[in-house]
Amino acid sequence: MSEYWRTSKAKDKSEKARASRLSRRDGLGVHRHRAGSRSYAKVQDVLEANNEDSSFIAVLKKTHQKSDGTYVDERARLIAEKFDECVQERLSEMDNSNGEDLTIANLTLEEKNEIYSKIVGTSKQGRVFGFGSLQRGVVMPLESATGSPLGNAEVGTTHRVEELEAELQKTRDEYEVLKKRIEAVEAFCFNTN
């Protein structure tokens, strides 16, 4: 076996696999989590045992969020932000006749999981980001089974489009400044002649 790994073919294959593992998926960086060797199912079981929220988003936050609230994975951060937006939309649609402020606690576990599933969607391989070992036994809603506004490629694309739009605006601003300078130089040249 050790002879095989000394061959140039094996070294090339190993280097390609290493580069692939360290690549920036969809412009969002290498996938990271903080679960260590614990499976996502174990994390969910611990949340349930502690009578905490055990929804998919809670598992995602527990496995991808530091104690200071920052995320170790850019995609997880984007999903959590989109989830919060969707929860606010859902809460604004709910009947609030008694005048109480509605919070995420007013949503059922199933409602939270449905929102999460719609946001994340599935990859080409049928995997759901942030589920890990929770993949088994989870039935995805039909509308999110083929992907969603924030599927694997879409999250990266959305992020990249935002970067490009900011870059384009900066270029437009620089262009306007240069255009005004040229006009001033032309006006000066024509006035001195």
Q: What is the pLDDT of residues 165-188, one digit of tens each?
A: 888 999 999 999 999 999 999 988
Query: Hey, CA dihedral for 4, 7, 9, 13, is it positive or negative?
Result: positive
In a domain, 7, yes or no: no
**Structural domain of residue 36, as residue ranges?**
25-192
Q: Mean pLDDT: which of 19-23, 153-157, 166-170 is highest?
A: 166-170
In this prediction the pTM is 0.57
CA atoms within 13 A on the CB side of 19: 6
In a domain, 169, yes or no: yes
In a domain, 3, yes or no: no
In a domain, 20, yes or no: no
Q: What is the pLDDT of residue 99?
A: 66
Tokens (6 digits) for 95: 């009947």
In a domain, 14, yes or no: no
Per the structure, how many domains does the chain have? Answer: 1
In a domain, 80, yes or no: yes
In a domain, 13, yes or no: no
Mean pLDDT for the chain overall? 80
Contact 128, 60 (CB under 8 A): no
Block residue for tokens 């580069």: 19
In a domain, 130, yes or no: yes
